[in-house]
């Protein structure tokens, strides 16, 4: 069974306090929020979000903007993405 | 933890799905032509040339065009893996079109060589489509139920193509296969429940929560539906070796498909309609009209199929096919186009600029009014076609033909309107 913290987020390698939950948004709003947030990322900062599934379509845009990302697929099919400027 | 590593060229260019989608109105126009120019009694049996042409204008001209185009787009997006040699899609599209025209021409008194051309075109198109797609879906970056449903659809397509091509030889001067009815039943069952049903269910699990903000479908419900679908298809194939004395071979194959029919035409519509009704944020969206209506048509399919199997009146068989192809799958496909095409245009033309400069919203690309017009024309044509089949009045056939033509024009206008948006 999936472990969850008191705020309802499954245990992941990202700090739950830093995860923006984008699951309740209509497509393409999650992508808009991710790209808008990432446009303001400074070196050393990261943006973490939880989505209903792995956001494959956003990856090329992140790459084109010089960003690095990691994803983690959770047991319920949702996914955590952590984005930071590529070093 | 996984590290992403996709590059821009992994997503197919918009021209690939768009070329398939833009051909769909042509398939609807063909269907309208057959309805308008035929006497209504032609649609009183599933084996007349007019009914076969109408059915295949729907399956090959409308559904296959939409589904093949969608698979090229969906596979990288959902399975996270690019389709190798995706540019072949343009050749596949051309071959499908030639195959469709040859097929329909032969059925309306064309020469045998029209079907020969059709068989060769479809065979090559399927090879060029199935091999790269199977290669991609064998190596997905994620193994969720949507990917499994896509695999099931693809495997079903391979089998129905074989059964269809073997049967089509009979229209190309060759022999019809022994046990022709059994081949046809397997062709129909796997086409509707495996190819169409597999993909439709799989896609719905992704797009319904994504576009309409419903709760997600539980993993167990997805697994159950896939399991039932798979079981029904395997039983249908196994029925080739079963002889039940009081049922014909075709009836046995149809009965064997019951678990799959229950999954696609009872449980899935109930689950999706329940999720849609339970939305927390009930934002108005005309494309939902298509989903709701298509799923209600799905609920009519099992009773209609049972009537078709056990009542000695071939009109029920035609009605079943009409409701399945144009009522259930066609309605949902039309609605999906109204939602997916604006999304694709937004994604390909504007998403790269998000966060860097103002971009139009996806909803601003297509008015709800246009979608509503398409919906009313489509639904009216389903109802009018059903009446044509049951009542067999020529005036109704002509009306249905006109409604289909109007639906085609409306859809073509909508697609062109969205696809030509550049600013």
- pLDDT (0 to 100) of residue B421: 83
Cα gap A82→A13, rounded to integer Å: 10
B5 pLDDT more than 60:
no
Which residues in chain B touch residue A27, judged by CB atoms under 8 angstroms apart? 210-211, 343, 362
- pLDDT (0 to 100) of residue A14: 54
Q: What is the pLDDT of residues B260-278, one digit of tens each?
A: 999 999 999 999 999 999 9
B347–A38 CB contact, under 8 Å: no
Residue A20 parent element (H or E): strand A19-21
B276 at the A interface (CB within 8 A)?
no
What CATH number is attached to the domain comprising B313?
Answer: 1.20.210.10
Residue B209: inside a domain: yes
Residue B2: inside a domain: no
Residue B312: inside a domain: yes
Mean pLDDT of chain B: 92
B67 pLDDT more than 70:
yes
Q: Which domain holds residue B114?
A: 12-419
Which residues in chain A touch residue B354, judged by CB atoms under 8 angstroms apart? 31-32, 35-36, 61
Main-chain phi, psi angles of B280, to 5 degrees = -75, -40
Residue B244: inside a domain: yes
B116 pLDDT tier (thresholds 50, 70, 90): very high
Which residues in chain B touch residue A84, judged by CB atoms under 8 angstroms apart? none
Contacts of the segment B385-391: beta carbons below 8 A, 24+ positions apart: B385/B35, B385/B322, B385/B326, B386/B319, B386/B322, B386/B323, B386/B327, B388/B35, B388/B40, B388/B43, B389/B43, B389/B44, B389/B315, B389/B318, B389/B319, B389/B322, B390/B315, B390/B319, B391/B40
* Lowest mean pLDDT, pick from A47-51, B204-208, B281-285, B355-359: B281-285
Q: Which residue has the higher pLDDT, B9 or B338?
A: B338
Highest mean pLDDT among B232-236, B280-284, B358-362, B363-367: B232-236
- pLDDT (0 to 100) of residue B222: 95
Q: Which residue has the higher pLDDT, A17 or B135?
A: B135
Tokens of A47: 């943006």
- pLDDT (0 to 100) of residue A16: 61
Q: Which of B343, B365, B361, B347 is nearest to B417 (CA)?
A: B365
Which one of A32, A52, A73 has the shortest CB-CB distance to B142?
A: A73
- pLDDT (0 to 100) of residue A3: 36
Q: CATH homologous superfamily for A17-85?
A: TusA-like domain (3.30.110.40)
Judge contact between B382 and B297, C-beta under 8 A.
yes
Q: Which residue has the higher pLDDT, A68 or B422?
A: A68
Residue range B159-173: average pLDDT? 92
ipTM of the complex: 0.71
Q: Residue ranges of the alpha helices (H) in B5-111?
A: 15-37, 49-56, 64-74, 88-107
Residue range A50-60: average pLDDT? 87
Cα gap B351→A55, rounded to integer Å: 13
**How many domains does the structure of chain B reveal?**
1
B57 pLDDT more than 50:
yes
B355–A76 CB contact, under 8 Å: no
- pLDDT (0 to 100) of residue B45: 94
């Amino acid at each position: 069974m999936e472990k969850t913290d008191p705020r309802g987020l499954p245990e992941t390698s990202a700090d739950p306090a830093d995860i923006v939950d984008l699951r309740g948004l209509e497509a393409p709003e999650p992508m808009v929020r991710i790209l808008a947030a990432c446009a303001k990322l400074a070196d050393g900062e990261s943006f973490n979000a939880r989505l209903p599934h792995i956001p494959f379509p956003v990856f090329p845009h992140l790459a084109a903007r010089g960003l690095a990302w990691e994803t983690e697929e959770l047991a319920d099919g949702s996914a955590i993405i952590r984005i930071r400027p590529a070093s | 933890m996984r590290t992403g590593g996709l590059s821009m060229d992994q997503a197919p260019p918009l021209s690939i799905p768009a070329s398939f989608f833009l051909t769909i109105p042509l398939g609807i126009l063909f269907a309208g032509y057959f309805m308008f120019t035929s006497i209504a009694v032609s649609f009183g049996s599933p084996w007349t040339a007019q009914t076969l042409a109408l059915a295949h204008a729907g399956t090959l001209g409308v559904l296959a065009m939409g589904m093949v185009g969608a698979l090229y787009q969906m596979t990288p997006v959902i399975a996270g893996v690019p389709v190798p040699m995706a540019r072949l899609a343009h050749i596949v599209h051309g071959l499908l079109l030639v195959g469709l025209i040859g097929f329909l021409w032969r059925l309306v008194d064309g020469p045998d060589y029209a079907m020969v051309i059709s068989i060769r075109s479809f065979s090559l198109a399927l090879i060029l489509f199935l091999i790269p797609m199977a290669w991609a879906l064998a190596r997905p970056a994620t193994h969720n139920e949507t990917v499994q449903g896509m695999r099931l659809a693809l495997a079903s397509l391979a089998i129905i193509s074989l059964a269809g091509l073997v049967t089509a030889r009979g229209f190309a001067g060759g022999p019809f296969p022994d046990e022709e009815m059994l081949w046809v039943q397997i062709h129909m069952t796997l086409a509707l429940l495996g190819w169409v049903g597999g993909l439709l269910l799989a896609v719905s699990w992704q797009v319904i929560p994504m576009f309409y903000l419903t709760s997600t479908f539980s993993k167990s419900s997805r697994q159950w539906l896939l399991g039932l679908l798979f079981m029904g298809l395997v039983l249908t194939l196994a029925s080739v070796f079963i002889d039940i004395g009081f049922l014909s071979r075709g009836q046995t194959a149809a009965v064997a498909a019951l678990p799959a029919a229950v999954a696609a035409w009872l449980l899935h519509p109930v689950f999706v309609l329940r999720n849609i009704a339970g939305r927390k944020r009930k934002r108005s969206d005309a494309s939902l009209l298509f989903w709701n209506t298509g799923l209600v048509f799905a609920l009519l399919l099992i009773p209609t199929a049972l009537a078709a199997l056990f009542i000695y009146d071939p009109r029920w068989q035609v009605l079943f096919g009409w409701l399945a192809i144009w009522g259930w799958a066609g309605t949902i496909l039309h609605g999906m186009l109204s939602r997916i095409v604006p999304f694709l245009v937004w994604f390909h033309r504007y998403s790269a600029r998000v966060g860097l400069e103002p971009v139009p919203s996806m909803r601003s690309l297509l008015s709800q009014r246009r979608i509503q017009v398409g919906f009313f024309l489509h639904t009216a044509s389903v109802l009018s076609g059903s009446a044509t089949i049951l009542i067999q009045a020529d005036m109704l056939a002509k009306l249905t033909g006109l409604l289909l033509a109007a639906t085609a024009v409306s859809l073509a206008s909508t697609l062109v309107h969205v696809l030509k948006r550049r600013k």
